[in-house]
Structure 1
């Protein structure tokens, strides 16, 4: 009797299920750091989430771990002004970075908390990847160039994640994905694969969990 050989689809399904199990394990809010001096120890691998202030970072983090209120979403864009750390299963950190592009704050305050995010990205040795969130309805905008320039300069690997993909038709989404891939093609630190997600309906969330698990080198 010969052993059956699993197909690529079966192996992918198993990997996605392993990632689901990981993200179903205990997760907790660790702290909100207002300076790099307050950062927790760097023994765990980390991924960070960045994006415009109204792109849905908190909703995406909540969807990944199937918690509605872990990361605090606000009706007022630009409220995240700290580096918010979440610990998953004592195996990794997820970091919610201050948003950019809009905030009801003074220019001095905006610059302060956005500089905090840049300082973190430049100096965090255990940061495995930054996920730059882009609203699928709008695609890349001029305001997104600054964080991509900063990530390229810091040589921090980053991957584009389209959010709110359920708000547009599949054909339009395909065009946005293609345009986004073309827009990052010559950027040295950008991961070439663009992921599309919807926190509201769960589209793309299993694949993003797997991407994060593999990027952090976590095995169960």
Structure 2
């Protein structure tokens, strides 16, 4: 079973964690590598956080919002086609890995198979990978491709944290119900982190908490 770091218990600890996240993600973030095959990966170095999710889940917007860049991560003009892993160095302490989107209905079968193979090979063989942030669109139902990705992460024994996106587009009662649904889903997966975060790249909601969670996994300052 994966080991999970304890959450901050007091207001002072939470405030300190939020500030640590703010300071880290205020540092320069630069693209430094792209790989389309597992034998092209850069040598393991800093702790890595990978971002995964269905095409159009808002992954690029989330990464850009976390780092304060407008176009650091770019969405593919044709969803489901991008197959490469993009690596970004954050402040010399953490590497962010933008994984290809999955589940696009019109993507060719070969593209989907390539994505699954690349993802699994990367996940199970990357010693510096600390966590996968698995994004779910708060506006829509959980898809089979999402649960398939969770099962794959369980098999790879990689900790993943479920994060809801586009919360600004959902009314509070429905958003609370979605949060509860996803928390229950996380409890059914041995590799899932117990904390589910709800975010909006438009309003910034939940972004400080996500920065704090990821900063706790970074190389010490």
Q: TM-score, normalised by structure 1?
A: 0.91
Match of 1:119 among 121, 124, 134: 121
> Partner of 1:3 in structure 2?
none
The one of 162, 178, 181 aligned to 1:179: 181
1:26–1:89 contact (8 Å) kept in structure 2: yes
Contact kept? 2:103, 2:112, Cα under 8 Å: no
Which one has a bigger Cα radius of gyration?
Answer: 1
**Count of aligned positions:** 213
Contact 1:51–1:100 (CA under 8 A) maintained in structure 2:
yes
Q: Which residue of 2 aligns with 1:49?
A: 51
Q: 1:77–1:103: 8 Å Cα contact kept in structure 2?
A: no
Kindly indicate whether structure 1 or structure 2 has the higher relative contact order, using CA contacts under 8 Å at least 6 residues apart. 2
Q: Give the deviation of 1:43 after TM superposition.
A: 1.9
RMSD of aligned alpha carbons: 1.6
Query: Does residue 16 of structure 1 match 2:18?
Result: yes
Cα deviation, residue 158, structure 1:
0.4
Could you list the structure 1 runs, at least 4 aligned residues long, displaced by more than 3 angstroms after superposition.
Answer: 217-220
d(CA) in 2 for partners of 1:142, 1:102: 12
Task: State how far apart, in whole Å, the 1-side matches of 2:96 and 2:218 are.
Answer: 14
- 1:60-139 matches, cutoff 5 A: 60-102=62-104, 104-139=106-141
- Whether the aligned pair in 2 keeps the contact of 1:198 and 1:205 (CA below 8 Å) is yes
In structure 1, list runs of 5 or more residues that go unmatched.
Answer: 1-6
